[in-house]
Amino acid sequence: MTLNEQAQEILRIAEKHGVEQNFLFITTFERYSEQIRISNNLKGIISSEGTMVTKEYVKGRRNLYVNPAITEYNRTCTAANQTAQTLMKIITTMRSDSDPDKQEEDELLAFIKGHRKT
């Protein structure tokens, strides 16, 4: 399952449990999706440019540095992990209590944890 397919499945299950219209869920999910997009872009930059980059100064002197994309990648991943934790809290506390089937109520969390129904 691709990341996009997984995101769509999370949204489908969230809708089933009544959290898809919640402002906090929507904004946090969008933020998380954007952080994932940014981290994937940074990962591509690191892959194409390498972990070390050369910076040329006046008079042609060159210095070798760690690619700054690595620092931004790490920051973005840390922020995405924190956003994912917030998203999980929103899902567990805000989902509809009107769901009569308690087994089905855990479907969203099971999917996010990687436990898919067979």
Determine, yes or no, domain membership for 74: yes
The tokens describing 112, both together, are 């996010």
Instruction: Give pLDDT tens digits for 63-82.
Output: 999 999 999 999 999 999 99
Which domain range does residue 36 map to? 3-112
Compute how many other C-beta atoms are within 10 angstroms of the C-beta atom of residue 39: 19
Determine, yes or no, domain membership for 13: yes
What per-residue confidence (pLDDT) applies to 106? Answer: 66
Number of residues written out for the chain = 118
Determine, yes or no, domain membership for 103: yes
Determine, yes or no, domain membership for 118: no
Determine, yes or no, domain membership for 117: no
What per-residue confidence (pLDDT) applies to 57? Answer: 84
Model confidence band, residue 98 (pLDDT cutoffs 50, 70, 90) = very low
The tokens describing 28, both together, are 């946090």
The HSE-up count of residue 51 (CA atoms within 13 Å, CB side) is: 1
Determine, yes or no, domain membership for 57: yes
Determine, yes or no, domain membership for 105: yes
Specify the number of domains making up the chain: 1
